[in-house]
Chain A
Amino acid sequence: MKEKKHPEKSSEKKSTSRRDFLKKGLLAGAGTVLAGGVVGSFNAFAQNEDTIYVLGSDMKVLSVPKSQVKERNIREEDQMQKEGREGIPGRKWIKVIDLSKCKNARLCMAACQNAHQLKPEQHHVNVLRMDRGGETAPFFMPKPCQHCDNPPCTKVCPVDATFRRQDGLVLINNERCIGCRFCIAACPYSARIFNWTEPKDAEKYKNVEYDVELNVPQKKGTVSKCLFSADLLRDEKLPYCVTACPNGVYWFGDENENAVTNGTTKETVNFKKLIKDNAAYVLLPELGTKPRVYYLPEKDRLVPFTYEGSTEIKKEEH
């Protein structure tokens, strides 16, 4: 599980089952929460030489080697930054969005905003109502950052504050960003947002250590965007939006493994087959940005056009 320190272990991981992918990482998850200082409990109540008992977020007592607990929680900031920049070895994260399933429930938007300290008008993932000239029925299209393989945004950054890592994720270091907003101008998908004023709950997050993989705490005068929940991926969990969707819109996985898992049904399928069988497409392919987000076409739409949910984002409280 501590693959950061032991990269060789990540190759072992490949042989483990997909289900492990979803189950693993409880402790690390709780640890993240503590490091994030938001919610959750983390009580060390017994320890001996080698292991420490901790209370996981599912209220089970877990025993883990002491050294590893430290490693996750009291990681040096530099270390966190370094790992965040390097990415997870051997991975190529990929997202598939099934447009035929999206009913505009907007739980993905809510989960994302909760995770990333965002204001109601700030979206890392934005569900757009697409209206192709009125010829066909409109449809809803969740639009996260496309994590382009040829990202125009990272090229223009003067200080390397936004970067693409080896696992294909495009991230931001908001402790380095100078707020020039060149990356916003350069992104053709309008995926980037800016903290024009003090971020939401700035006071609450004041003393929280910065996590480059969560981009929290947000900082005034810096840029933010979808990170494919890099913090959860490190713990081998599916992204916030993916699991929040009630309608099975999102598939997420690893291109190298050629497998994607549905966030709602937890079904895992062959990625190449899924996009081939469904004639998946990417957004604005003509721009040559090579997105890592695939869209399954908006078939089986309801005509006349009706949809569940409102245009308001449903509040999801922790």
Chain B
Amino acid sequence: MSEIKQKEGQKKSLNKIVSDLTRPIKNHYGFTPWILFLLTVMGIGLFAYILQLRDGLGVTAMRDYVSWGLYISSFIFFIATALVGMLISAVLGLIGVKWITPISRIAEMIALGFAMWAGLIIIFDMGRPDRVLNIFLHGRLQSPIVWDITVVTTYVAISILLYLLPLIPDIPFLKKTMNDQPKWKQKIYKVLSFGFKGKPEQYKLIKRLIRIMAILIIPVALAIHTVTSWLFAATLRVGWDSTIFGPYYVSGAFVAGGAAVIIAMFVFSRNFRLKEYITNLHFDKMGKLLVMLMLVYLYFNINEYLVPAYKMKLEDEPHLMGLFTGKFALMFWTVQLGGLIIPTILLLFKKMRKPVPSLIIGIVVVIGAFFKRYLITIPTLLHPHLPIQNVPEEFSTYWPTAFEWTITMMAVAGAVLIITILAKLFPVMPIWETAHEEGITNDEMNKFAEGKNI
């Protein structure tokens, strides 16, 4: 905290903090066009999905051999991105890292948006979404899908708590400043205050609960991505039949999520004019964190590709050569070099950890992470143990159709919409924790919330 304060120069008053953090809720530049844009993207996707419901999954490019495609790879990407909530607010929070205060709620918002839509993507991929209840009626514990659904739901639930709990002490400020806002908004604040009055024991209780949730979410988050990796690792297919898939996925997830947080940090710091709170220091720290995460991921990548490539088993050969020099080589090397190795090197330089370069690197890393999931899913399916024969040509190739792209974009837009709405309802960073860091006491905050300006 002292570090931040020194950088910022003098103390911020509570008045300033509250007005800075609540201003974007009342008005901020470009909100309506942005929402309209997201809704349009979602509308197109919804239309495509309705057509898919009518005509069946045949509207996708998936066929009997490549039976999982863009939807499933997007699903892994979404789960991966969602994992960052756990890393930042739980792991870093528990070990007492101070600079995460302004970004932990942002990470939690990303986690919520993406985890919720991950569940929906699975439904988009189902041949019979009308039978989704069968999972509960006839669910079988042996199936990794059942594990996945269980842990994803748990993760969403804990993430909601991890988002809401730190919000409670902010509510008195919102109640005070938002009295010119629509009734329904005020009602939400009223409900969410849970009778919080700023008493010391209430603060203590909330901190305790946050701590419990933060501890709980770690195993659950590890489980969701490990289990997701088992959807693949539990099969006998070349390229998936791997023992390191769990940690490989988890480490890759942090890369995707870390980069997503950098993008969100940039957007909020500029669009919400929070530069004084999300400072160069935060971009610098996140950049360093991302370097570390990418190095770990690189380590797993080397294990995952180099060892099989060294042995070059007869079975593995078509798959690996397809990635290294064949049909997928361009995508493979672009993703590995452009999405992982070059960003790692770049971020080693201080200049590259400034906001604008970090934003660009963040975007590249996220896109790379998206296509990395594609490369994990599709090439393996194109190399079954027995030859693909007596089927139309299109069965032995795969490139997503417009249906798949638009439906996937609906999911992306949907996740961003959740983040946008949350940012429009509640401050994107905790007022009370920010105030604490500025040395403002609970008493002062209570007085302020009760209406006395200080």
Contact = CB atoms under 8 A, between A and B. Distances in A.
Interface of A: 109, 121-123, 126-130, 143, 152, 155-161, 176-182, 184-186, 188-190, 192-198, 219-223, 283-284, 287, 289, 311, 313
Contacts of A122: 64
A194 B127 contact: yes
A97 to B, nearest CB: 14
Nearest to B127: A179
A283 to B, nearest CB: 8
A311 B386 CA distance: 17
Given A178-B132, A181-B68, A188-B236, A195 B56 contact: yes
Nearest to A190: B384
Interface of B: 55-58, 60, 62-65, 67-68, 122, 125-129, 131-132, 134-135, 137-140, 142-146, 149, 231-232, 234-237, 381, 384-392, 395
A279 to B, nearest CB: 21
A196 B128 CA distance: 11
B217 to A, nearest CB: 24
Contacts of A161: 134, 138
Contacts of B138: 159-161, 176
9 contacts: A123-B391, A130-B387, A159-B140, A176-B131, A178-B128, A179-B128, A194-B63, A196-B56, A221-B56
Given A181-B68, A194-B67, A197-B56, 7 more contacts: A123-B391, A126-B390, A159-B135, A179-B128, A196-B60, A197-B55, A197-B58
A155 B142 contact: yes
**Cβ-closest 4 pairs across A and B:** A179-B127, A221-B127, A197-B58, A196-B58
A41 B125 CA distance: 42
B316 to A, nearest CB: 13
B145 A156 contact: yes
Nearest to B65: A190
A185 B128 contact: no
B234 A156 contact: yes
B143 A156 contact: yes
B71 to A, nearest CB: 10
B386 A190 contact: yes
Nearest to A163: B140
B143 A182 contact: yes
Contacts, number: 145
A155 B387 contact: no
A156 B128 contact: no
Contacts of A189: 385-386
Contacts of A158: 135, 139-140, 143, 145-146, 149
A192 B381 CA distance: 13
Contacts of B56: 195-198, 220-221
Contacts of A198: 56
A57 to B, nearest CB: 31
Q: Helix, strand, loop or mixed for chain A's interface?
A: loop
Contact of B127 (A126, A195, A287): A195
Contact of A185 (B126, B134, B381): B381
A48 to B, nearest CB: 45
A182 B390 contact: no
A186 B132 contact: no
Contacts of A182: 143-145, 231
Contact of A186 (B131, B146, B235): B235
A194 B390 CA distance: 15
Nearest to A153: B235
B385 A188 contact: yes
A191 B175 CA distance: 62
B236 A196 contact: no
Given A126-B390, A158-B139, A179 B57 contact: yes
B68 A221 contact: no
A221 B128 contact: yes
Given A159-B140, A160-B140, A190-B386, A185 B67 contact: yes
B127 A128 contact: no
Contacts of A121: 390-392, 395
A178 B389 contact: no
A185 B390 contact: no
Given A158-B139, A182-B143, A222 B127 contact: yes
Contacts of B237: 185, 188
A287 B127 CA distance: 28
B234 A186 contact: yes
B172 to A, nearest CB: 45
A223 B68 CA distance: 13
B385 A190 contact: yes
B143 A128 contact: no
A23 B209 CA distance: 73
Given A178-B134, A188-B385, A196 B68 contact: no
A141 B403 CA distance: 37
Contacts of B391: 121, 123
Nearest to A221: B127
A178 B235 contact: no
B68 A155 contact: no
A222 B15 CA distance: 60
Nearest to A130: B387
Given A128-B386, A190-B65, A177 B392 contact: no
Nearest to B231: A182
Contacts of B58: 196-197
B426 to A, nearest CB: 36
